[in-house]
Structure 1
Amino acid sequence: MLHSRLMRYIDEVARTGSIRQAAERLSVASSAINRQIIAYEEELGLPVFERLSRGVRLTAIGELLVEHIRATMKDHRQTLHRIGDLKTLRRSKIHVATLEALTTDVLAQVVSAWHQTYPLTRISVTTMPSEAIAAAVGRGDAQLGLGFDMPPQPNLTTFSSTPCSLGLVVRPGHPLASRASLRWSELADCAFALPAEGLTIRTLLDRAIKRTRLTVDPIVETNSIDLLKRLAMLGDVATVLTKADVEVDRQRGALSFIPITDGEAGSQSLVIVHRTSAPLDGVTTRFAEKLAELARQIGDESPHNKPFATG
């Protein structure tokens, strides 16, 4: 029978070409190794090693056997590594700093899926303005920062950056809801509720509006993304956001997102950052990968949505 100890013996003898040298490396009596190999050869009915005047070498059967042994030992090491990862994952704590607007449509999906697989992981989420996210990660108050258009900083490393184009957001019954795409010039008659001045997305909107010479007189301006979405749900008011802002409501049929596809549309980048001087551990890296995966699904890199899962 090829048990784990015998596999180590055969592998080491094959590597060194010597039972004596293998015994020295494994701190085992050479007679014990030789005895077990001979017993296995008798059980197999074929020689594994050819005995030479100086050492041993593998027979053709031995070559096949060692190939199997090394593959088995590699699989075993990988399994032990994965078991160790699972133990670590279950005990870990992850702190994320992000925008309020990203908690419902991005973080909630990732956290919910993550918890189903790793129920003992503890996740802390703190919402704050965009400019505060980078500072919180830089100070070490959060391991990960998730936000839009965070400028590069020397003390931060960008884990991922996904472009998210702007689109018109309306209720499903709105006259424009059935359109596959729109141009800015087609939005002249819309009643708009827009993000407030000073927000990054509003700056992008103002630039696009200016370039297209579109006249927009918003009936509501607010820094609350939730209010903008609610207004769009309740009537024929339209707003302009990214798909990341409305993904959950879009999936459940409460809102429609129509990409604005002309060259003046503008886009935001959904960015994940961490502190350069504090490299991410395996658990936090895996969580960040799940965030980045969802960002790609709802960003420009993947126009079609897929169900999100962790594992």
Structure 2
Amino acid sequence: MRTILMSPLMHYVREVALEGSIRRAADNLHISPSAIARQIQQLEEQFGAALFERQPRGMRLTEAGQIVLETIQQFERNAASALSHVEELRGLKRGRVSIGALQTLGEDILPRALTDLRERYPGICFNAYIGNSSDIIRKVADGDIDIGVCWDPGGAVPIERLRVVPIAIGVAMQSGHALAEKDLVSLRDCAPYPMIFPSRDMMFRTLIDRINVGVGSSVTPVIETNSMSMMRRLVRDGAGLVLTTSMSLLGDLAVGKVVHRPLLESAVHTFPLCLFVRSDRDLPLAVKIVVEQFTLEMDSLAAQHCG
């Protein structure tokens, strides 16, 4: 994002850092490479330190350069916030809002909410980032994303929780599976069948492992993956059972390809889905409007998926 409050030199440093090349940065900015090189050299002379390490294959930030880039990025975020606040003072319902959400939410809930918001507030533009919980939490804490919707990180994280919904866990299986006849399924019931688990770097896996340990003879997954879409495909194809939420299977459940049965152990094990913002942030009007919409979406989720 380019803002009128940033100086050309700030744009030069930022673009070279992102591209790793003065030539590519010059192409992007429609300026000569020599002009960028000269400006960066003058800035380095003022700092008395090299900002970039010149390498045969491009430019890489030095430690001093990383500090300068972080300062520029922070200024960029502050500038965007300032412009948004000025527009509020002018009575304009405009702004740009960035949202980070889990892949599951990006396939149904997030598009529906953004479509509704665009109809009611056509002046607001959106940037939707789909990622895992750790990335979303980090980006909100760093100020790169305005709003996060993902699994609650717990612990001392600089975020303000606006809504937390405990989502019940169940067992997903192909239609016609023997366990589909049961109203409630335990992890012991699942033990004789192949199991598919999320990979160990996913927050959802942490809860599954806690449940698994409590079973006595733990279940060993036959497949582990960090892709929820792959897990859904494997369930549809009958490759195994997946411990997940019904929220993750809306499309498959609607067409009857997959069934989802509550997990017995989920009576004491739920996973908290969290709507949050950075804790020390004064939210612009556009962000507040989007937060209100997603609070309603979270209430709807609570009614459908709390078990």
Aligned-CA RMSD value: 2.9
The equivalent position to 2:300 in structure 1, one of 297, 301, 305, is: 297
1:134 to 2:137 alignment: yes
Counterpart in the other structure of 1:201: 204
Distance in 1, matches of 2:266 and 2:237, equals: 30
Show CA shifts across 1:220-249 (max 9, x none). Answer: 111111110110011252101123322343
1:165 to 2:177 alignment: no
Label 1:165 to 1:303 Cα distance change in 2 as closer, same or farther (>3 A). Answer: closer
Q: Give, as a single letter, the amino acid of the residue that structure 2 aligns with 1:250.
A: L
Q: Give, as a single letter, the amino acid of the residue that structure 2 aligns with 1:134.
A: I
The equivalent position to 1:191 in structure 2, one of 189, 194, 198, is: 194
Counterpart in the other structure of 2:235: 232
Q: Give, as a single letter, the amino acid of the residue that structure 2 aligns with 1:192.
A: M
Distance in 1, matches of 2:119 and 2:252, equals: 22
Label 1:267 to 1:189 Cα distance change in 2 as closer, same or farther (>3 A). Answer: same
Q: Give, as a single letter, the amino acid of the residue that structure 2 aligns with 1:201.
A: F
Label 1:96 to 1:107 Cα distance change in 2 as closer, same or farther (>3 A). Answer: same
Q: Percent same amino acid at aligned positions?
A: 20
Residue aligned with 2:243, SS: strand
Distance in 2, matches of 1:105 and 1:214, equals: 37
The equivalent position to 2:151 in structure 1, one of 148, 151, 155, is: 148
Structure of larger gyration radius: 1
The more displaced of 243-252 and 205-214 is: 243-252
Distance in 2, matches of 1:187 and 1:280, equals: 46
Is the 1:110–1:291 Cα contact (8 Å) retained in structure 2? Answer: yes
Is the 1:106–1:244 Cα contact (8 Å) retained in structure 2? Answer: no
Distance in 2, matches of 1:116 and 1:304, equals: 29
What TM-score, normalized to structure 1?
0.61
Label 1:154 to 1:182 Cα distance change in 2 as closer, same or farther (>3 A). Answer: closer
Label 1:252 to 1:102 Cα distance change in 2 as closer, same or farther (>3 A). Answer: same
Show CA shifts across 1:196-229 (max 9, x none). Answer: 1232221211221111124423221111111101
1:220 to 2:223 alignment: yes
1:92 to 2:132 alignment: no
What TM-score, normalized to structure 2?
0.62
> After TM superposition, what 4+ stretches of structure 1 lie above 6 angstroms from structure 2?
none
Is the 1:156–1:274 Cα contact (8 Å) retained in structure 2? Answer: yes
Counterpart in the other structure of 1:261: 264
Per-residue deviation, 1:140: 1.8
Per-residue deviation, 1:130: 2.2
Structure 1 gap ranges (5+): 1-83, 306-311
Counterpart in the other structure of 2:84: none
